[in-house]
Structure 1
Amino acid sequence: MNNLNLAALVKSEKRARKRMRYLALLHFTEGHSRTAIANMLKVSRTSVNTWVTHYLTHGISGLDDKHNPGRPAQLSAKQLINLKEFVQRQSLPESGGRLMARDVSLFIQSEFGVTFKQANIYRLLHQLGLSWITTRSRHPKQSQDIQDAFKKFPAVNDP
């Protein structure tokens, strides 16, 4: 690749990091030393060495950003399915009660041996497609018959 093509790539590139790599190569093809290029671009000489080596071995595509997979998940897909089933099972009882992040955290710790902070519990549940918006809890001693009987009392202050 000649200097004109590299200069055109430098001018047309939108991403700053990639433009910096192209600029380093342009200076390299003009005959500047790697140390001088590092000083001109205010980057480390190791970075310039890496960029030039990638270019010489892989061509211009060697300067593309590599996919960074990130940190591996702490729970496997099967464990996530078990967690989702647990949450759905616990949210269905007629007796009332409320499932809290602390309960989910204790389940994860006891079943899978992994600890999560409360904010990450909510993030994990959202990732599983579960909403944390809950209905009003039903008291275990609640009785529909007693409520109906109470509604039949006349209001004392009504005329």
Structure 2
Amino acid sequence: MRYLALLHFTEGHSRTAIATMLKVSRTSVNKWVTTYLSQGLSGLDDKPNPGRPPQLSLAQQACLKAFVQQRSLSEQVGRLMAKNISHFIQSEFGVTFKQANIYRLLNQLGFSWITTRSRHPKQSEAAQAAFKKLPNGNDP
């Protein structure tokens, strides 16, 4: 649209006529033409949109990443869940996240939310092995 407006401008049409032809405001056409005259065609390219600033600083994100790594490898604690991470963020940084945003934040930090089968922290491997050796009524 911007380039079409410039084409009409270079053909000698007035800015008001260009706005009417393209069904845009005259202010937009004025801005496009002024930008073109001062910066050339590259000035009409879309500028990157920075978006909303992150709620956690880089240092806080590093602290959160260390917490997740430490807790996920710990054998004393059961499965690490989003509500645990949300509680940690709330208590440490005073920022509230919804559960969907916790998953998005973990993805940005390089984690994937694939969980293994849960294991009780106090489970006994020996008791499980003994249970597997019990005779079953269906065994031949």
| Identical residues among aligned pairs (%) | 77
Question: Which residue, out of 27, 36, 56, partners 1:46?
Answer: 27
The change in CA–CA distance for 1:62 and 1:152 in structure 2 (over 3 A counts) is closer
Structure 2: distance between partners of 1:46 and 1:101: 48
- Deviations, residues 116-144 of structure 1 (Å, cap 9, x unaligned): 22111111111111121111222233222
1:114 paired to 2:92: no
Q: CA distance change for structure 1 residues 155 and 56 in 2, over 3 Å: closer, same or farther?
A: closer
Q: Do the aligned partners of 1:54 and 1:62 also contact (CA within 8 Å) in 2?
A: yes
Aligned equivalents of 1:135, 1:22: Cα separation in 2: 54
- Superposition TM-score, scaled by structure 1 size: 0.77
**Counterpart mapping for 1:7-156 below 5 A:** 20-156=1-137
Displacement of 1:38 after TM fit? Answer: 0.4
Contact 1:101 1:121 (C-alpha < 8 Å) held by counterparts: yes
Please tell me whether Structure 1 or Structure 2 has the larger radius of gyration of its CA atoms: 1
User: Aligned partner of 2:84: which letter?
Assistant: D
Q: CA deviation at 1:96?
A: 4.6
CA distance in 1, matches of 2:8, 2:23: 13
Change beyond 3 A, Cα 1:136–1:55: same
Task: Name the TM-score, length of structure 2 as normaliser.
Answer: 0.86
Q: Indicate how the Cα distance of structure 1 residues 92 and 49 shifts in structure 2: closer, same or farther if over 3 A, else same.
A: same
State the distance in 2 between where 1:107 and 1:91 align: 14
- Give the letter aligned to residue 73 of structure 2: L
RMSD: 1.9
Structure 2 residue identity aligned to 1:124:
L
- Distance (whole Å) between structure 2 residues aligned to residue 134 and residue 83 of structure 1: 18
Q: 1:52 to 1:143 in 2, by over 3 A?
A: same
Q: Aligned AA for 2:127?
A: I
1:157, CA displacement in angstroms? 4.1
The number of aligned residues is: 140
